[in-house]
């Protein structure tokens, strides 16, 4: 199995343990709805930032079937509610996690829609019953009690926590920390000399993965780092 040096690496303790939290979102209707694209964009301009956050950022937390066609509620409605595939494609490409300011994100959404309406001869309408209903959410963050002091424990922990934990530490962290970094790679960088692992985690184009896929991917990267490259280093 592992040599003594290898075991030392696997068992190297972090300065501070990683504490896994999980995140649960309860959906709350706002009572606002849009039946056509003009109504929709006017409401996007005035709804609360929490509404924008719910429909764009928290889409990942819903457990919507993967691989999805469209990665946020606005694009999904453009495709299936309005049957406007061009707009759906444009809205899909808007990655909310590239915006540290939600008002800038709102502006970008409005720009995409208004430009699309400018070029389009008609205003698309949804069928009755397929209107867009604006929601917001009540977010609850709970400590799981699961902690990791070593990379091995971290990998085990990641397997034990609920998928809402992956969302909290990988997606929401970017807004919480106000920098384009997830909690996982931040902790690994801070505690272990694994620059390649940190780089690999940060290179994941996470907008294209479900939370389940993302967890598998990170675990595989950890596995690869722990059992592969380290083995070579030890010789």
137: region left, alpha or beta (phi > 0 left; psi from -120 to 50 alpha): beta
Token pair belonging to 80: 């299936």
With beta carbons less than 8 A apart as the criterion, state whether 168 and 229 touch: no
Pick one of 83, 89, 131, 147: the residue that binds another protein (CB under 8 A).
131
Instruction: Give the span between the Cα atoms of 44 and 38, in whole angstroms.
Output: 10
- Is the Cα torsion angle 41, 45, 46, 51 positive or negative in sign? positive
Residue whose CB is less far from another protein, 32 or 224 = 32
Q: How far from 128 is each of 38, 107, 125, CA to CA, in Å?
A: 16, 28, 9
Q: Does residue 126 belong to the site contacting another protein (CB under 8 A)?
A: no
Q: Does residue 35 belong to the site contacting another protein (CB under 8 A)?
A: no
Q: Does residue 22 belong to the site contacting another protein (CB under 8 A)?
A: yes
The set of residues, in sequence order, having a beta carbon less than 8 Å from that of 76 and lying 6+ positions away, is 68, 69, 70, 88
Pick one of 7, 16, 29, 199: the residue that binds another protein (CB under 8 A).
29
Pick one of 3, 7, 16, 28: the residue that binds another protein (CB under 8 A).
28
Q: Does residue 36 belong to the site contacting another protein (CB under 8 A)?
A: no
Q: Does residue 208 belong to the site contacting another protein (CB under 8 A)?
A: no
**Alpha helix positions (H), the chain:** 4-11, 37-46, 49-52, 73-80, 85-92, 102-119, 151-160, 163-166, 173-176, 183-191, 195-202, 211-223, 230-234
Pick one of 142, 179, 195, 229: the residue that binds another protein (CB under 8 A).
142
Token pair belonging to 62: 């819903």
Instruction: Give the span between the Cα atoms of 215 and 222, in whole angstroms.
Output: 11
Q: Does residue 141 belong to the site contacting another protein (CB under 8 A)?
A: yes
Pick one of 36, 139, 204, 219: the residue that binds another protein (CB under 8 A).
139
Nearest Cα to 72, choosing from 86, 89, 84, 49?
A: 89
Q: Which stretch binds another protein (CB under 8 A): 8-16, 86-94, 132-140, 224-232?
A: 132-140
Q: Does residue 46 belong to the site contacting another protein (CB under 8 A)?
A: no
Pick one of 108, 117, 163, 175: the residue that binds another protein (CB under 8 A).
163
Residue whose CB is less far from another protein, 33 or 217 = 33
CB of 133 to another protein, least distance (A): 4
The site for another protein (CB under 8 A) is made up of 21-22, 24, 26-29, 31, 33, 50, 62-63, 65, 68-69, 80, 127, 129-131, 133-145, 160-164
């Amino acid at each position: 199995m592992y040599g003594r040096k290898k075991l030392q690496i696997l068992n190297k303790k972090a300065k501070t343990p990683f504490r896994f939290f999980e995140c649960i979102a309860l959906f709350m209707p706002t009572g606002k709805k849009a039946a056509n694209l003009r109504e929709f964009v006017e409401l996007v301009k005035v709804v609360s930032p929490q509404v924008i956050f719910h429909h764009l950022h928290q889409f990942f937390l819903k457990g919507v079937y993967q691989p999805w066609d469209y990665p946020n509620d606005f694009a999904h409605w453009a495709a299936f509610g309005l049957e406007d595939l061009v707009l759906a494609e444009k809205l899909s490409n808007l990655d909310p996690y590239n915006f540290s300011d939600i008002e800038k994100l709102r502006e970008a959404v409005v720009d995409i829609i208004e430009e699309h309406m400018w070029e389009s001869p008609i205003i698309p309408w949804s069928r009755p019953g397929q209107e867009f209903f604006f929601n917001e959410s009540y977010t609850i963050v709970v400590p799981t009690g699961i902690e990791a002091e070593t990379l091995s424990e971290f990998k085990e922990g990641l397997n034990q926590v609920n998928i809402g934990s992956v969302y909290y530490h990988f997606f929401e962290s970017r807004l919480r920390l106000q920098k384009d970094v997830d909690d996982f790679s931040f902790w690994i960088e801070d505690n272990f000399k694994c620059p390649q692992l940190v780089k690999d985690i940060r290179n994941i184009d996470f907008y294209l993965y479900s939370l389940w896929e993302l967890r598998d991917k990170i675990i595989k990267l950890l596995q690869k780092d722990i059992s592969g490259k380290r083995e070579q280093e030890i010789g």
